[in-house]
A and B are shown apart, each in its own frame.
Chain A
Amino acid sequence: AQTVTQSQPEMSVQEAETVTLSCTYDTSESNYYLFWYKQPPSRQMILVIRQEAYKQQNATENRFSVNFQKAAKSFSLKISDSQLGDTAMYFCAFMKDSGGGADGLTFGKGTHLIIQP
């Protein structure tokens, strides 16, 4: 079974600063996918970024980028130029490739990110 660990229950930074959220995972799978989901106060789950484990290049989406270290089983999320609207819970999630990925997503417990004005 896979496990996903987010070691920072809560973080707080000033607007416009850069912040990095940590995520580590444990798996015996060699092929898998990693995701970061954002959950604002509305509770809606929104995909932030996605990474295929077989790709060396780190995924980026505008102000969001990841640092994927496969050997270390680490998948951190960096948010640049943070904005008030980035305030949310952030969940790291894992999906294995074997078995067609039918098991769905395995989530970490989340990091509550607060952007201060």
Chain B
Amino acid sequence: EAQVTQNPRYLITVTGKKLTVTCSQNMNHEYMSWYRQDPGLGLRQIYYSMNVEVTDKGDVPEGYKVSRKEKRNFPLILESPSPNQTSLYFCASSLSPPGNEQFFGPGTRLTVL
């Protein structure tokens, strides 16, 4: 089954404790992206990757890191999480943009205390 998977689905952590949210897709997509969803704000892009070893900042990159060492994986790293990073996070993938449908993962609910 073609899908984007994220782990963990739920995470409660404390300020300053490094964490990684994994994202993997099995559709051989070149493009991958991370979004965060906050009430009343919709979804905003954090980082994106056009292909292996090619990443760039989105609209809200502060406090996040990413890497793209393999085509299928695009982990999101929070080196020192803060409470304002409490959010719902989505990973998405697609064939090379523009215009192609982005397939979304199931989301990761992160709470930083």
Instruction: Give residues in A with beta carbon < 8 Å to B.
Output: 4, 32-33, 35, 42-45, 47, 50, 52, 91, 95-97, 100-110
Contact = CB atoms under 8 A, between A and B. Distances in A.
Contacts, number: 68
Contacts of B43: 45, 91, 105, 107
Contacts of A108: 42
A101 B106 CA distance: 23
Interface of B is mostly: strand
A11 to B, nearest CB: 16
Contacts of B31: 102
Which has the most chain A C-beta neighbours within 10 Å: B40, B88, B104?
A: B104
Interface stretch (B62-70, B71-79, B94-102): B94-102
Interface residues of B, number: 25
A104 B4 CA distance: 17
Interface in B83-113: 88, 90, 92, 96-99, 101-102, 104, 106-107
Interface of B: 31, 33, 35, 40-45, 48, 50, 56, 58, 88, 90, 92, 96-99, 101-102, 104, 106-107
A52 B40 contact: no
